[in-house]
Amino acid sequence: MAYENIRYEQSGAVATITVAREKALNALNAQTLQEIGRALEEAESAAAIRVVIVTGAGEKAFVAGADIAQMVELGTIEARHFTAIGHRVGDFMEAMSKPIIAAVNGFAFGGGLELALACDFIYAADTAKLGQPEVKLGVICGFGGTQRLPRRVGFARAMELILTGDTISAEEAKQMGLVNKVFPAAELMSKVRATAEKIAALPPLAVAASKRAVRRTETLDIHAGCELEAELFSRLFSSKDQKEGMQAFLQKRAPNYEGR
């Protein structure tokens, strides 16, 4: 597919989606969100892709937020359409069978942090800054931040960030559980890729089932969640990868997973 505001690249079993609007600090306008959505669909449908990385172009910004220049003139109906696009992207990311890692290389504000929150986990550069400053502009989070941030860091921490609009460092984000790991900026992408390749080498059906089971805990009580876990666990025993993985373990050899 042809993209104007993002780059889509494949290296082995890993796809990288880079938001590439450097002059606008990679801000998310409607077109960019739609292109991200199409790239995610492309990755999900490609059998060769097993993990996706989402990052931003340049050294300053991951995504500095939604595009204020586009939003300033929106009315209620247009704003509802804009937020719907962002929610569709976030929902699709969570529903994807393939893990998504956010490589936060710089500013992740507003819609940028919401994009990272829709990923399965976040690695950040030590120079990164994160926050939900929407309240300072007279609005609230529009792409899922009021829902995903509390689930990631807890009610009180999320309320503090959302109600003050404060910016935090990558290290602060790590301490509160928002970011998994922090690396020197020059090492970020190599570290993210190493983790992506580690996951990509594992049996994809088991990886997809693991993601589904954990993601569903956000909407199920523990008993329903455990029932889903048991169902997914048992289904995997009909896969070739389960037989291969266990036989390889017993035979003390490297497994060869086919995703079947």
Q: How far apart are CA 259 and CA 199, in angstroms?
A: 13
> Within a 13 Å sphere around the CA of 231, how many CA atoms are in the beta-carbon half?
9
For residue range 170-211, what is the model confidence (pLDDT) as tens digits?
A: 999 999 999 999 999 999 999 999 999 999 999 999 999 999
Confidence label for 52 from pLDDT (cuts 50, 70 and 90): very high
Q: What does the domain layout of the chain look like in residue ranges?
A: 6-200, 204-251
Confidence label for 259 from pLDDT (cuts 50, 70 and 90): confident
Q: Which CATH superfamily is domain 204-251 in?
A: Lyase 2-enoyl-coa Hydratase, Chain  A, domain 2 (1.10.12.10)
- Res 219: pLDDT: 84
Written out in words, the top-level CATH class of the domain with range 6-200 is alpha beta
Q: What angle do CA 217, 121, 211 make, to 5 degrees?
A: 40
**260, pLDDT greater than 90:** no
- Res 101: pLDDT: 98
Confidence label for 220 from pLDDT (cuts 50, 70 and 90): confident
88-109 per-residue burial string, b: 16 or more CB within 10 A, e: under 16: ebbeebbebebbbbbbbbbbbb
Distant-in-sequence, close-in-space partners of 122: CB < 8 Å, separation ≥ 6: 101, 102, 104, 116, 173, 178, 179, 180
- Res 195: pLDDT: 98
**228, pLDDT greater than 90:** no
Q: Which residues form the catalytic set?
A: 114, 134
Name beta bridge partners: 191.
none
- Res 123: pLDDT: 98
The three-state DSSP-derived secondary structure of 167-185 is EEEHHHHHHCCCCCEEECH
- Res 26: pLDDT: 96
For residue range 56-110, what is the model confidence (pLDDT) as tens digits?
A: 999 999 999 999 998 999 999 999 999 999 999 999 999 999 999 999 999 999 9
Q: How far apart are CA 38 and CA 130, in angstroms?
A: 26
